[in-house]
């Protein structure tokens, strides 16, 4: 799996005006992502920063190639965000994503994506809050 696809699938959590954002704490988060399928198996852990403004606007979850995807929201609440997505770039794909707040300081998510050509990719992730402030060396 290309690194760009991971960034695209994780970072593209769309948020729409007047929709209730998922209820998570702001600050530093540690996220673990396990990817399987399409001839790959990988596990990554990284730090990221979540801000109040980013949760409200959705910008904390936006990726660089957001314009190439269209989304259909299935469920969006303080506890759950589920949607289908079709992307044209960087790799054409279709996916189903589900993210669930287990508490204000923990969430789990799953992404099932079909790449052009039919290859299947499954991504399981979990995040937990680690700090009320963000350090300078995290992804934001």
What pLDDT score does 124 carry? 95
> Domain-by-domain residue ranges, the chain?
3-131
What pLDDT score does 17 carry? 41
What pLDDT score does 132 carry? 95
Q: What are the helix and strand counts (H, E) for the chain?
A: 2, 7
- Model pTM? 0.76
Question: CA-CA distance, 88 to 80, in Å (whole number)?
Answer: 26
Each residue's pLDDT expressed in tens, for the chain with a length of 140 residues: 444 444 444 444 443 444 688 899 999 999 999 999 978 899 999 998 988 887 765 555 544 556 688 888 888 889 988 889 898 887 899 999 898 999 999 999 999 999 988 999 999 999 999 999 987 765 54
What pLDDT score does 138 carry? 56
Question: CA-CA distance, 19 to 9, in Å (whole number)?
Answer: 21
Query: How far from 96 is each of 27, 29, 38, 52, CA to CA, in Å?
Result: 27, 23, 16, 26
């Amino acid at each position: 799996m290309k690194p760009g696809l991971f960034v695209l699938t994780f970072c593209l959590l769309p948020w729409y005006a007047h929709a209730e954002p998922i209820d998570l704490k702001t600050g530093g988060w540690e996220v673990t992502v396990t990817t399987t399928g399409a001839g790959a198996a990988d596990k990554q852990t990284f730090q990221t920063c979540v801000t109040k403004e980013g949760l409200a606007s959705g910008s904390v979850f936006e990726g660089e190639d957001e314009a190439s995807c269209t989304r259909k929201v299935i469920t969006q609440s303080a506890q759950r965000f589920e949607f289908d997505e079709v992307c044209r770039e960087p790799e054409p794909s279709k996916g189903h994503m589900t993210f669930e707040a287990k508490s204000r300081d923990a969430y789990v998510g799953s992404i099932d994506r079909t790449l052009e050509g039919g290859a299947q990719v499954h991504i399981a992730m979990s995040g937990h809050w680690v700090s009320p402030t963000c350090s300078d060396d995290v992804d934001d």
